[in-house]
Structure 1
Amino acid sequence: MEANENYEHARKLSYAEFPTQFVWNKAVPSLWVPRHIGFAIGRNHSVPASFDNAYHLRILLNKVKGPKCFENIRTVEGVVSDSFRDACYRIGLLDDDKEYIEAIEEARHTANGYYLRNLFATMLITFSLSRRDYVWDNIWHFLVDGILYYQKKKHKNPGLTLSDKQLKNLALLEIEEILVSNNSSLRSYDGSGKTYLWKTLSASIRSKGEIVLNVPSSGIATLLLEGGRTAHSRFLIPINLTKDSQCHVTGNTDVSDLLKKTSLIIWGETPMIHKHALEELDRTLKDVMKCDLSNTSESLFGGKVVVLGGDFRQILPVVHNGTRNDCVNATISSSYIWLKCKVLKLTKNMRLTIGSQMSNTLEIKQFADWFLDISEGNLDGTNDGETTISIPDDILIKHSLNPMFNNLTYFQERALLDPLNEVVQEINDRMLA
């Protein structure tokens, strides 16, 4: 982007074509400079379709020439698209999904809602859809076919009525069951939980024109957040940590300028990072913000707002040859930073309640509480390192040789979904026999 600003002939090249006429200069500051000798061929790294934002950015980088900022990459015929995906669609690099919508509309004349929901789930699993939300908005009223009938039968209430929102949630719940059986989940597309919270916070701050840094502790987590980058990479944190080490950020660099302008830092999966890394960032931000006389550099993180997220029930810092006490002592809760943190907790398990009925709310809460009691060692006696856990009968697999028979009732109820579905009824009859 900087080369496009400085060199006119650079604006005629896509990013993959840059190495043919430019060379990457590793000197400080790093930049592209015109090539005088030699020849090179460039390519962009392959990105799987499941990494939605990065995947569509890569498509655009192979086509768009001369962008001077990320907004230029998303601009098509003078209109700035909301996302890289939308920009790909406007340019014509993606199908409009019309054929998939027509396929479901055609199938509804000969197939029941259960089949249509399976068909839509298959489209999700195979990443066939370019705009999933657009397709859903156009075909959801076909996918909910049979759900009201099934609910009337289940609750023995012929006069039962459901709102459009309730029908959608029940359809999504069934689609989720299909995806889970295929090692996937709706969470892979638009999920809930901490990631949803981080995305919402980022979008809210960025909508005001301010800068947000998403810095998860793991590389995999960076793929879930827009502009995500590991904390070690973003803050130049050294690999070998000590209580006195410092981030490699000096006063007059691009990184220090970025930190000064940043309004919010979101550091995900914090419990798995060593406390020395957080303390290093605290010292670094205090040092960087000293250049700003209006800022009280003695406050935590130089006065910057930092959101630290994660779950202490998950992975803790790994201490080489360390004992249990060493690992606990390496967590943020053992740091001086913890004393100045305001702790906020997410208390509602959204992944369990999405698409569920109000009548099941108590049952879902009891299961969630039971699950948390296990993870916290509060179940069946004192937490002395060893205990016997009683598994509730409703989640216990009793038929070890053929676990499918545990869901026999499910197949019986499924057969009632559509009296004309002779295939499902035949399978049910054979299982009973």
Structure 2
Amino acid sequence: MLTQWFKANEKHPDARNLTYVEFPRFWVWKSEIKKWTMRLSGNMIGRLPFAHPTSGERYYFRMLLHIVRGATCYKDLRTVDGVEYLTFKDACIALGLLHDDNEWSEALLEANTWASANQLRHIFSTMLMFCEVTNPCDLWAKFWEIFVDDLHLRLRRELGNMVLELPYDELKNMALYEIENILNKSSRSLREFPSMPFPMLRERHVIVNKLIREELSYDANSLLQEFQMLYVKLNTKQLLVFDSVMHACTNNLGGLYFVYGSGGIGKTFLWQTIIAKLRSEQKIVLAVASSRIASLLLPGGRTAHSCFKIPINLHESSTCSISMQSPLAELIQKAHLIIWDEAPMIHRYAFKAVDRTFRDLMKFNGPHASDRAFGGKAVLLGGDFRQLLPVVPKKGREGIVAAHFIDRIFGQNVMFFVSLLTCVFHLINLLHYTCQIIG
């Protein structure tokens, strides 16, 4: 009936002098042909279905149908004095059909003299749900500071940091998060009020989780400048690794990568470039190394044992001491890349423990995460097999080789492979020294 009213106004100039509610007085709806026809006799009063003021755009649309005459489309209903508005509510405001929110402002000002911030958030939520607030976004912008009065102190107590300072954007987001929770208890949401901002729900966990906050606290602008200086200095092979890793991180593909090379060829320089790029985009990178000295060369680096809680006494079925509900577990789940330097010098049981733990942590983030290496996380390993291998007390070459992690990469013939590689390496050194002596 409504769309045919549009068409009738378009075809018949006389019909354009009537509102949708007045239309049945002079026109008759023929249900069999689904069209409006001129009324020849009698009279009829039009009536629209009821719409509650809290029903949003439906309520304002119904209000306009009582006012606007001769509309030929929905756009005409939203147009006032030649200006098309985005919503029916904005059109009602332009027509002066809605009053201001002065009574709600006065109510919040009065309540602020005796109510706590938590109570004020409940009052504001009640206004949204049950009162005819014309512009909730303006009301929010005017009073958001009294809604966040207790959140700063509460977060300081939760984190045990009484000097913690949060930017206004994070405080606003926390208040919106609390209001959304209040509305959800009544099966409502801030999404029902298009003018109201919606909280970034993930940010609530970021604020509370101290580990994530630390990883996201880097200066993005300075890191971007650092990346631009480092990137132009990468050689062809470094660019190949950089592009492969960035493609995996950008598209959330995961994967296990290994950069093999001796000391001094630019592995650390490559790590710094990748870390600067990802952190400048506010992405989390966990930079670890097998030794403390190597970790000092990485920006924000730590030892693998410290970061992943790898046990000291390892065995075949070891796992890392990371609880599923711990902040560290959440940090690992949100990490985009893990860089592990000097990987060949750590026991293979440590890699198995990290792999087993990551699969458990990531199994809720994807259907096949538990079947992928490191739970589908992008892991970039680096090191040199010719340098220090894992230290195994009271074991010979066979025990050291058996403790090496590359059996997971090269298969079961790892002892033969490493022995052959070692023999070739020693033979090359012998020939080199012999040439020097003869020369």
Tell me if both proteins adopt one fold, taking TM over 0.5 as the criterion: no
TM interval, short-chain normalised? 0.3 to 0.5
TM-score by length of 2: 0.44
Greater C-alpha Rg: 2
